[in-house]
A and B are shown apart, each in its own frame.
Chain A
Amino acid sequence: MFRSVGIRNLFLAPFCIWAGVFIFVPLIFIAWYGVTNADGNFSLENLEMIFQTEFFRSLEVSVILALVSTIVCLILAYPLCLILVERAKSAGLIITLLFVLPLWMNTLLSTMAWQTILEKNGILNQLLRFFSLPDFTLINTSAAVVIGMIYNYLPYMVLPLYVALSKIDLSVIEAAKDLGASTWKTFYKIILPLSLPGAISGVTMVFIPALTTFAISALLGGGKLLLIGNVIEQEFTFEYDWHLGSALSIVLMIFIVVNMIITLAFDNSHEETSD
């Protein structure tokens, strides 16, 4: 589309400068802060701090809660998307859009609303009391944080999964059934492999934000449950220890890179089989 390579490169140049300044230099800043101490000398003490019990505990809890939320989202989203794909034929897009619409509600406000629902004299307990059932107080527990995560990130699982499922050729599923496969076998042998790329991007889109959130745990965990995101936020806004905060961010980035590699590996193997 360009008359010469020179003109093309002229169009590409702003991005190269941009990517250098705003994508790579910031990461170098984090890496630099992470491996230096307050005097500006090279030191690995901040990175070693992570193995201190309290930080390691935060990291452990974050990984567990993020994994649980991701798995629950996946389990909830599969049947939901299958039903939505089926219904979309008669009801149109609107029904699917309704399940993604909560994304546009502010995360913090809807998490706050969960506080109102789950707290001691909250809506859930008032309902339970109305039916003379025992109280069930979830607020300030890790279960409440998981509910908050599932609530906020479920649409991110639904979107890619729905797209992947709606692309499956229905005649393939019918063929499997005609050939005598049970519903479960059709799911396991046909639907699951064909929708796997969607499921994997859904897992990434839920796991990473769930692993690194600090607002949801602050609101529903009652300040007692410190996730790795809360620790990093505190280091930057209260403790002013940027070196430790950066070191913890580097650890988070390791998780993200591992996640990306797994995703890419799945992507490649899928492309090989589909080509």
Chain B
Amino acid sequence: MAKLKTIYLAIIFLFLYAPIGVLIAQSFNESRYRGNWTGFTLKWYESLFENEDILNALSNTISIGFFSALIATIFALITCLALREVGKKWRAMFMSAANVPILNADIVTGISLMLLFLGLGMKLGYGSILLAHVVFNVPYVMLCIMPQLIALDKSFYEAALDLGASPFKAFTSVVLPELRPSIFAGFLLAFTMSADDFIITYFTRGAGVDTLPTAIYSQLKLGIHPEMYALSTLVFFTILIFVILFAMNRKKI
């Protein structure tokens, strides 16, 4: 039985990592055509740092991810603080309203935001992508912060007030430290969702502005630039290292 279980894990593991293996192999492939192995090379890793389109898309992805996560986190925190004090029914209603952009299909959210931006006469571009990402990131952060905020013991905050702290001081020195893990988790989740989003970005971007996913999509028809494989290999191993470090730390605690 234990052997059978290991075999099952191995099969699923193979299924999940076969394409990743193909991509990594592709990044070392001499030929720029996929599925055609002509020899080992590192040249794509060198030319990656000269490919302005990819570097631009990468910097857009990172900056949109960072700023949309930051804005969404601040916004979600303010809203959750207020929602803590409304009744249970109202809170559930507000939360479901906030969740609409992520419960809805990405394609519907993307199109509806595009119609809104064009309807308001906004120019599609970096700003519209950023705004759209904040829209779908707010509920993710709220989902992370809300449970911990509800579980938070209010009396510490009140004690700080009784001892003469200003509400702001009491908030930053009592409430905020308690919430730090969930704020951090929300920020990270929002950043990941933003960096990985393709469909909503696709509909809300303007000509000439690309994030990595949309850059990849536009390259699909003419063939992916092999530098893209090199970049995703680097990204994959970076995340793998972080995950391993995280798991090892957790084990110690």
Given A27-B112, A104-B236, A209-B105, A110 and B20 contact (CB-CB distance below 8 Å): yes
In the complex, whether A22 has a CB less than 8 A from a CB of chain B is: yes
In the complex, whether A133 has a CB less than 8 A from a CB of chain B is: no
Q: Say yes or no: B220 contacts A123, CB within 8 Å.
A: no
In the complex, whether A33 has a CB less than 8 A from a CB of chain B is: yes
In the complex, whether A187 has a CB less than 8 A from a CB of chain B is: no
**Interface hits, A80-115 → B, CB 8 Å:** 80, 83-84, 86-87, 92-94, 97-99, 101-115
Q: Smallest CB-CB separation from A16: which chain B residue?
A: B94
Q: Say yes or no: B232 contacts A109, CB within 8 Å.
A: yes
In the complex, whether A15 has a CB less than 8 A from a CB of chain B is: yes
Q: Say yes or no: A209 contacts B106, CB within 8 Å.
A: yes
**Interface hits, A53-70 → B, CB 8 Å:** none
In the complex, whether A44 has a CB less than 8 A from a CB of chain B is: no
In the complex, whether A265 has a CB less than 8 A from a CB of chain B is: no
- The interface stretch among B45-53, B62-70, B239-247 is B239-247
B136 CB to nearest chain A CB (Å)? 10
Q: Say yes or no: B216 contacts A108, CB within 8 Å.
A: yes
Q: Say yes or no: A99 contacts B108, CB within 8 Å.
A: no
Q: Smallest CB-CB separation from B158: which chain A residue?
A: A1
Q: Say yes or no: B19 contacts A110, CB within 8 Å.
A: yes
Q: Say yes or no: A116 contacts B35, CB within 8 Å.
A: yes
Q: Smallest CB-CB separation from A253: which chain B residue?
A: B108
Given A30-B111, A99-B13, A106-B212, A12 and B83 contact (CB-CB distance below 8 Å): yes
**Partner-A contacts on B (CB < 8 A):** 5, 8-9, 12-13, 15-20, 22-23, 26, 34-35, 75, 78-79, 81-86, 94, 97-98, 100-101, 103-109, 111-116, 119, 131, 135, 138, 154, 157, 167, 175, 192, 196, 198-199, 203, 212-213, 216-217, 220, 224, 228-229, 232, 235-236, 239-240, 243-244, 246-248, 250-251
Between A and B, 15 residue pairs with Cβ closer than 8 Å are A3-B167, A12-B79, A14-B75, A14-B79, A15-B75, A18-B75, A22-B116, A30-B112, A83-B5, A94-B244, A98-B13, A112-B224, A122-B35, A229-B107, A249-B111
Q: Say yes or no: A123 contacts B82, CB within 8 Å.
A: no
Query: What is the CA–CA distance of A239 and B201 in the complex, to the nearest angstrom?
Result: 20
The 4 closest A-B pairs by CB, nearest first: A26-B112, A113-B19, A11-B82, A212-B105
Chain A interface mostly: helix
Q: Say yes or no: B220 contacts A219, CB within 8 Å.
A: yes
Query: What is the CA–CA distance of A8 and B115 in the complex, to the nearest angstrom?
Result: 33
Query: What is the CA–CA distance of A86 and B111 in the complex, to the nearest angstrom?
Result: 43
User: Per a CB cutoff under 8 Å, which of A21, A99, A232 touches B16?
Assistant: A99
CB contacts (< 8 Å) of A111 on chain B: these are 19
Query: What is the CA–CA distance of A10 and B203 in the complex, to the nearest angstrom?
Result: 33
Q: Say yes or no: B86 contacts A232, CB within 8 Å.
A: no
CB contacts (< 8 Å) of A102 on chain B: these are 16-17, 20
Query: What is the CA–CA distance of A109 and B82 in the complex, to the nearest angstrom?
Result: 41
Q: Say yes or no: B9 contacts A105, CB within 8 Å.
A: no
Q: Say yes or no: B250 contacts A93, CB within 8 Å.
A: yes
CB contacts (< 8 Å) of B248 on chain A: these are 94
For the complex with contacts A101-B240, A114-B19, 5 further pairs of A-B residues with Cβ separation under 8 Å are: A12-B82, A18-B75, A80-B9, A105-B232, A117-B19
**Interface hits, A206-249 → B, CB 8 Å:** 208-209, 211-212, 214-215, 219, 229, 232-233, 236, 242, 245-246, 249
